[in-house]
Amino acid sequence: MFIDFLQHSSDDGEEKNRARRAWGCDDVGRQVRKAFQLCETYCEQRGVSEEVARFNCVRSCVSPSCLETLYGEDPYELGEHDVRINSFRGCTSQDFSSGNRGLDTIRALLERDNIDAEAGSGASWNADYDEDDERERDRAEL
């Protein structure tokens, strides 16, 4: 019985780690969220305001290959509920983990176009996101 408890506890821990990775609570997830924030600023400062153009601008900035893979044959349409966002985050996380894309690439893009990464509305793909709150939640889960 005790062994069953230990096995169950171990499974719960691994399940929690999988869930945290899926929701971007690891370092790569934080980098992906920061990439979305930087790209929101990039597109905002370039004056891209129309919904579909902004959608494509942000995702192209974050990961052009993931944009093409997930939206290339079936583009995002005005007013569409984006059910592919989790797949896009997963694809982007793989890009970042493999070194194909990263914050340095995105910062270089902003610098090339003279975009102030600290300016902008601070909007992101998750308007409720607060990095300090997330760190507190991460500590509470451990």
* d(C-alpha 79, C-alpha 37), whole Å: 21
pTM score > 0.75 for this model? no
For residues 65 and 83, the answer to whether their CB atoms sit within 8 Å is no
Per-residue pLDDT tens over the stretch 43-81: 999 999 999 999 999 999 999 999 999 999 999 999 999
Enumerate the domain spans of the chain.
26-141
Per-residue pLDDT tens over the stretch 98-131: 988 999 999 998 888 887 766 654 444 333 334 4
* d(C-alpha 37, C-alpha 122), whole Å: 7
The two three-digit tokens of residue 130, written as one number: 């607060």
CA dist list (Å): 136 to 36, 80, 139: 21, 33, 5
